Structure 1
Amino acid sequence: MNEVASTERALILAPHGRDATVACALLGEVGIAAHACPDLPALCTALEEGAGLLILAEEAVRTADLQGLVAWIGAQPPWSDLPVILLTLRGDGAERTPEAARLTELLGNVTFVERPFHPTTLVSVVRTCLRGRRRQYEARARLVERERLLADLADERARFETLVEHLPVGVNLMDRNGRTILSNPAFRRFLPDCVIPSRRPDGEETWIGYDEQGRSLSRDRFPGACALRGETVSGIEFVHHPAGGEPVWTRVSGVPVRDATGKPAGALTVIVDISDQKAAQEALQRLTATLESKVQERTRELAATLDQLRDEIRDRERAEEQLRQTQKLETLGQLTGGVAHDFNNLLMAILGNLELLRKRLPADPTTERLFDGAMQGARRGATLTQRLLAFARRQDLQPQAVDLAGLLDGMKTLLERSVGPRVVIRIDARPATVPALIDPNQLELAILNLAVNARDSMPDGGTLTVTVDEAPVPVASGLPPGSYPYVSVRDTGTGMDEATLARAIEPFFSTKGIGKGTGLGLSMVHGLAVQSGGAFRLSSVPGQGTLVELWLPKATTPAQAAELPPAPAADVSPAVVLVVDDDALIAMSTVDMLADLGHTVLEAGSGVEALELLRSGQTVDLLLTDYAMPGMTGVELAQVARAMVPDLPVLLATGYADLPEGVVADLPRLAKPYTQHQLAVATAKLLAETARTSAHAEPSGGLHLEPQTGIHR
């Protein structure tokens, strides 16, 4: 309900009979808003929202507790007198019934309407009451406006008086007879009695003024006297000689104040102390002789400021260059991540089909050699995509609490074999270092990459120092302040110049010869650090060596012992596996590998198609789905499928690591590209777990037909 409707509505209290219904209907027909209240408390509540009048049945208020209503009426502001229409029985007017007189006394502005009444009578009385109520609202608006204007006027007067009081110049307002109406302290400092010089007996002796030609002014030409005659005079300089004081230079102006007819009604005089200005002019004249030295001094200051500005510009250019490098790396990361994902899919098809093809061709040394070459090339491609994904921060990480000192101790022999006998390895690992939250396998690979890079930078031998410790993180790292565990690798090699250092972590950038490196080592290490929530710092000095620092997040749990290698795939019964992938090449390879393992394979090209198979009642023992599919992702498909078949095991195949957090925590994942053995291990593990779970459950009594090995598309 809008404000107008609520402030002009009729509130009706007639809980007995049909009076409230009839009154609401009559008023509604003529466009008057009405609201029937079931009891007196509801009426008082509705009053808080606004009302134009009250219509009360006498029997509803005669014996009721009117304290709340009377209190509301008594608390009305002065402009308000809420109209009340009291519906009485015939002959119950105030002049006949003491009770009616009591209600009039309590409720104030009461109009009696005897029942039964003609509809026109009620409508007429209500309209009359509303007209009176509207006049009350108008009076309120006028009172509010009047109070606002008075407040504004008081504020303006206060601001004007404050302004005049605090003006640094003397101000004096006079009437037409020269009597002071208003003056400020600055004026009274010159003339304590507020009598203008032209009306003082000693005015021409104590106030000596000069015209533009330097001649002394007579008192009738003083600014105050001229302003009282209606003339405007400004900027006349006077020397004021106060009694017992030093002479003061002043500038005096006079402005006439006119009435509504334009005739002079007074004058305003202004006195400005210009002693400082005169003193400044004299000082300026004295400084003219030494202007050259001041100019030279200022020139030196400007030169220093210019040097500072140049330094700031250089700092800004360095910051902008760092920002451009960051944006370039981010763009390269997006590009390489997309390329690596697509390349993963291609390698998936190549590896899978090569494995299947090897089983179907006769044994032959030449064929075996060709197959081995093809498999090695495909595996190198898989390694390359993993490095690309690491740079793009999309590799599949398995972070856990890692004892950095223990990890480094276990790598010592591998590092020594990797760098050779000409490089001395020093390991400085503090055992008390807090565990880091990192993928231990990827961290080992990163440290090994750094060690190999260090070896290549020391062709004549040198020292490689690997340090594990905990320290406050540098501000330039971009991490929140605090203490972090870190791994640093320092060499005494040839180092890098600024140009090489600026491009060192770009993918495919390498200073090694052709065929001696992919240019992805530092890119992978950088991507691992950032994806893990840490920071990567690289510094180098030509001829002195290079320092690489990996600042890692702290683990909140103790470090765990190294896990045993995964067990070989268990023998499981043939099962029905539903493979979902929008890439036909990948789907074909996966389906063929599963079929070769003895499973019955169903194939779907999308999440919607897979759900249709499940709804059809088709038995499915395992769901193997790709993650990145148009329309419905593998995660979304798993959620819907498990809602349909709660115990359905799901295996998520993906080359990405940046899946939505918290959604796939309970989904086992198979990283692309995978081999048939990896596929067999993953599916066997899930099927075995499902079988163990089913063994503890009660028999269902239903039928489960033994599937036939094959492929169903």
Structure 2
Amino acid sequence: MPDTMTQPMGSDRRRGTLLVVDDEPEILTALEDLFEEDFRVHAARSGAEGLEILRRAPDVDVIISDQRMPGMTGDAFLAQAREISQAEALLLTGYAELDAVISAVNKGRIAFYAPKPWDPEGLRSMVLSAMERHRLARALETERALLRGLLDASSDPLSFKDRNGRFIRLNAAKAEALGGTVESLLGQRESTLLPPEAAAALVMAEQEVMQSGQGTDQTGLAAGEAGSRWVRVQRLPIPGRDGHATHLATIEHDLTEQRMLEERLRQAEKMQALGTMAGGVAHDFNNLLTAILGSLDLLLQSGTHDARGEMLLKTAITAAERGSALTRRLLSFSRKRELQLRPADLNRMVQEMDGLLSRSLGEQVTVRHALGEHLWPALADQEQFALGLLNLCINSRDAMPDGGVITLSTRNVSVAEEEVPDLHPGDYVVLGVADTGTGMPPEVMAKAFEPFFTTKEVGKGTGLGLSMVYGLARQSGGTVTLDSRPGEGTLVEVYLPRSDWSGASSQVPEGQAPACHSCRVLVVDDDAAVRGITTTFLNELGHSTLEAADGAAALALLEAGEQVDLLVTDVAMPGISGAELATRVRARWPEMPVLLLTGYADPAMQSDGFPVLRKPFRQTELARQVAAVLRRG
């Protein structure tokens, strides 16, 4: 008889698959008729044919086999079937063959034995019970495989405990975290492996979950051999048949890297906000200084005061210039000050500063060099770099009240992706400033780059040293890193991009005569004080002036036909900005020279070809720039 299978009836998912093996066709037909409503039935006349069917249809749930068959007995067939199928087996025989039944139990692992002739309902009940056992076994094996896969594949520590807190399952990550192996920890209580305080907290947390039947999700710091780390711990109760928790599942996820990334993002956002604020403050302050310094300058030139008055004016001018230097530091932090980036030999620059550093740091401080060989050229503003290095060394000196050693080092480094926070991959030249001072606690390090933050006494520091260096490095395309521990000194490393660019200086030539000695200049500034000082400077230089409070008023004057030889305009103005005004004037009157005045001196503005004079400025600086602009025009 060929292999046959009844047509499915109802839902195939609810029907089992049955293999019947018997050498008598009548018995095969009778078995097919008996089970066709509940099973998809395969039929075979011999053990060999039955084995072939099992190879083609591995989803068989139950096998019913006759014992006495030519070629292969039933117990021998079931023994071979067990090697290729996990189906439940049932042996039919018309003879009281105890030896065959024992052999089938031992080799074929039969679940039931039925004599011929069989009771239909009894046999049907046996087969249905066998199918249910088979399905439960398969479901259990699937769950075990899923659990093994979850435990083995997860890098997060996972564990399962009984109601007494003993491990019944755990993965390698959990075992490694506890300093043991999976095998050695099974059956142990985790609380016995922890310090008393941590053990008590663990027991309390697990009892809370088991008693309430509610899971918990907690995040906190956990101590480990590599230091403290942020960990998220989820505890989930596993209920038994009565609905009460009998076991506990624990999932732990290390959030340390995520927390570090979040902290870096918050710090970057804070620094950006501080930079924006610092730039705005510096711009407004520069407007005030322009008016103050310009007025003092004019008074000094007036010659209407005695020697004491001249001394007071010079003192006031010096104070205003110190205020100007302060705003330059703020602008360096906010990255809104133009840098003259050029290829620089850091080794040579460090060596050239030896004399200045020895005079500035005092006899108690020893400066040592650890300069790298074959150093790449770095992209840097050499003047600002020197100022930044001096600031770093002074900070180190102040951190060593009893004296100590400052080590200046340089090296080449190729940075990989995400190797250094907030730094693009590439080649960099690193300047290191290390001291043997008091060091910094973490809470101070977190604020070290913020402007005006200082741990020095009032009057002994502005809090702009590190922030200025940070701003310069970021504007140059690099960054600054800080490594410090209380009592172990501090290391500041400045990363500057490797330079493969060289360019001629773009400074304006000095000492040449302007195109006209007495020109008509349109001065545009929304700050009346700055506008007044600028026009006064220009008038004293022999020029005539027109004034406008904003870009719209300036355009109206020009459109009305006013003859203007030079446009001098502030950049930051409401409505039409100075840059936009300059662009419009260039489009309408392409031959008219333009000079921008700003407290920012954003390099992007100069890309359009407009020269820039940074506030606050002295009359001599304005005269030199005006002459250069008119000569170009």
- Shared fold (TM-score greater than 0.5)? yes
Report matched runs for 1:269-348 at 5 Å.
Answer: 272=135, 274=137, 297-300=186-189, 312-313=254-255, 316-348=258-290
Report the Cα offset of residue 439 of structure 1. Answer: 1.6
Q: CA contact under 8 A between 2:338 and 2:603: conserved in structure 1?
A: no
Mapped pair 1:674 → 2:617: yes
Deviations 1:613-640 (A, max 9, x none): 2233322221111111222222221221
Give 1:204 deviation, angstroms: 11
2:330 is the alignment partner of 1:382: no
Matches within 5 A, 1:361-400: 361-400=303-342
Structure-2 separation of matches of 1:640 and 1:656? 21
Q: Does 1:578 align with 2:522?
A: yes
Structure 2 match to 1:599: 543
Map of 2:382 onto structure 1: 440
- Deviations, residues 175-214 of structure 1 (Å, cap 9, x unaligned): 8676687545443871479xx9999774999887699xxx
1:459 Cα deviation from its structure 2 partner: 3.1
1:432 CA displacement: 3.1
The Cα shift of 1:272 comes to 4.6
Alpha-carbon distance, 1:347 to partner: 0.9
2:439 is aligned to 495
Give, in angstroms, the shift of residue 659 of structure 1. Answer: 5.8
Q: Residues 458, 177 of structure 1: CA spacing in aligned structure 2 closer, same or farther, 3 A cutoff?
A: closer
Q: What does residue 77 of structure 2 align with?
A: none
AA in 2 matched with 1:467? S
Q: SS state of the match for residue 549, structure 1?
A: strand
Q: Which residue of 2 aligns with 1:688?
A: 631
Distance in 2 (alpha carbons) for counterparts of 1:519 and 1:291: 54
Classify the secondary structure of the residue corresponding to 1:477.
coil
Q: Which amino acid in structure 1 is aligned with residue 339 of structure 2?
A: L
Counterpart of 1:456? 398
The answer to whether residue 424 in structure 2 is matched with residue 505 in structure 1 is no
SS in 2 for 1:542: coil
1:202-245 per-position Cα deviation (integer Å, ceiling 9, x unaligned): 4999887699xxxx996221464xxxxxxxx79853xxxxxxxx
Residues in 2 aligned to 1:422 and 1:406: alpha-carbon distance in whole angstroms: 24
Q: 1:630 to 1:292 in 2, by over 3 A?
A: closer
> Which string of whole-angstrom CA distances, capped at 9 and with x for unpartnered residues, describes residues 102-124 of structure 1?
xxxxxxxxxxxxxxxxxxxxxxx
Is 1:409 matched up with 2:351? yes
Q: Deviations over 1:329-376 (max 9, x none)?
A: 332222222111111111111111221222335131121122122212
- Residues 539-572 of structure 1 show CA distances to partners (whole Å, capped at 9, x for unaligned) of 2233332211110112222487x99997457565
State the Cα distance separating 1:307 from its structure 2 match. Answer: 6.5
| 2:165–2:189 contact (8 Å) kept in structure 1 | no
Q: Distance in 2 between matches of 1:168 and 1:365?
A: 115
Work out the CA distance in 2 between the residues paired with 1:275 and 1:385: 76
Once residues 415 and 581 of structure 1 are traced to their aligned partners in structure 2, the CA distance between those partners, rounded to angstroms, is 42
The alpha carbon displacement at 1:611 in A equals 2.1
User: For 1:383, what is the secondary structure of its paired residue?
Assistant: helix
3-state SS, counterpart of residue 186 of structure 2:
helix
The SS at the match of 1:333 is helix
User: Number of aligned pairs?
Assistant: 476
Matched, 1:219 2:108: no
Describe the SS at the equivalent of 2:413. Answer: strand
Match of 2:362 in 1: 420
Confirm or deny: 8 A CA contact 2:287 2:615 kept in the other structure.
yes
The residue type paired with residue 297 of structure 1 is L
AA of the residue aligned to 1:596: E
Q: Secondary structure at the match of 1:674?
A: coil
Deviations 1:396-433 (A, max 9, x none): 22222222233333333222222233322233444632
In the alignment, which residue of structure 1 is the partner of 2:296?
354
Gaps of 5+ in 1: 1-159, 225-232, 238-249, 254-270, 281-287, 691-713
Q: CA, structure 1 residues 619+430, in 2 after alignment: closer, same or farther (shift >3 Å)?
A: farther
On the 8 A contact 2:482/2:490 being kept in 1, the answer is yes
Pair 1:222–1:648, CA change in 2 (3 A):
farther
Larger radius of gyration: 1
Q: Distance in 2 between matches of 1:517 and 1:273?
A: 77
Structure 1 residue 187 corresponds to structure 2 residue 87 = no
Q: Deviations over 1:10-38 (max 9, x none)?
A: xxxxxxxxxxxxxxxxxxxxxxxxxxxxx
CA distance in 1, matches of 2:111, 2:358: 102
Q: Which amino acid aligns with 1:335?
A: M
Name the stretch that deviates more: 464-473 or 442-451. 464-473
Counterparts of 2:561 and 2:507 in 1: how far apart (Å)?
40
Partner in structure 2 of residue 30 of structure 1: none
SS in 2 for 1:190: strand
Contact map agreement 1:581 1:626 (CA 8 A) in 2? yes
1:323 CA displacement: 3.9
Q: For each residue in 1:274-320, what CA deviation from the matched residue of structure 2 results, as whole angstroms up to 9, or x when unmatched? A: 59979x9xxxxxxx9x9978597355568689877856355655554
Q: 1:625 aligns with which of 556, 562, 569?
A: 569
- Give me the whole-angstrom Cα distance separating, in 2, the residues matched to 1:587 and 1:293: 80
Cα 1:667–1:177 shift into 2, 3 Å: same
Tell whether the 8 Å contact from 1:197 to 1:203 is kept in structure 2 after alignment. no
Give the stretch that moved more between structures: 605-614 or 527-536: 605-614
CA distance 1:201–1:339, change in 2 (3 Å): same
How far is the alpha carbon of 1:681 from its aligned partner?
A: 0.9
Query: 1:594, CA displacement in angstroms?
Result: 0.9
Matched residue type, 1:385: T
Instruction: Return the offset for 1:378.
Output: 1.1
CA deviation after TM superposition for structure 1 residue 463, in Å: 2.4
Q: Distance in 2 between matches of 1:341 and 1:601?
A: 24
Distance 1:197 1:491 in 2: 81
State the distance in 1 between where 2:18 and 2:282 align: 82
Q: Is the 8 A contact 1:607 1:634 kept in 2?
A: yes
Q: Secondary structure of the residue that 2:384 maps to in structure 1? A: helix
Q: Give per-residue Cα distances to partners, 1:59-107, cap 9 Å, x unaligned.
A: xxxxxxxxxxxxxxxxxxxxxxxxxxxxxxxxxxxxxxxxxxxxxxxxx
CA contact (8 A) 1:569 1:681 kept: no
- The equivalent residue for 2:488 is 544
TM-score (norm 2): 0.65
Q: 1:178 & 1:555 partners in 2: Cα distance?
A: 85
Match of 2:210 in 1: none
The alpha carbon displacement at 1:582 in A equals 1.9
Q: Residues 197 and 425 of structure 1: is their aligned pair in 2 closer, same or farther, counting only changes over 3 Å?
A: closer
> Does the CA-based 8 Å contact 2:399-2:439 persist in structure 1?
yes
Equivalent-residue separation in structure 2 for 1:565 and 1:415 (angstroms): 32
Task: Name the counterpart of 1:263.
Answer: none
- Residue equivalent to 2:591: 647
1:564–1:222 distance in 2 versus 1, CA, 3 Å: same
Aligned to 2:607: 664
- The 3 A distance-change label for structure 1 pair 611 and 338 is same
RMSD: 4.4
2:486 is the alignment partner of 1:486: no
Task: Decide whether the 8 Å contact of 2:18 with 2:41 is kept in 1.
Answer: no
Contiguous gaps of at least 5 residues in structure 2: 1-7, 21-28, 43-56, 67-87, 102-109, 144-161, 170-184, 195-201, 203-221, 232-253
Give the drift of 1:683. Answer: 0.5
Call closer, same or farther: CA 1:349–1:192 in 2, change over 3 Å. farther
Q: Residues 17-36 of structure 1 correspond to what in structure 2 (within 5 A)?
A: none
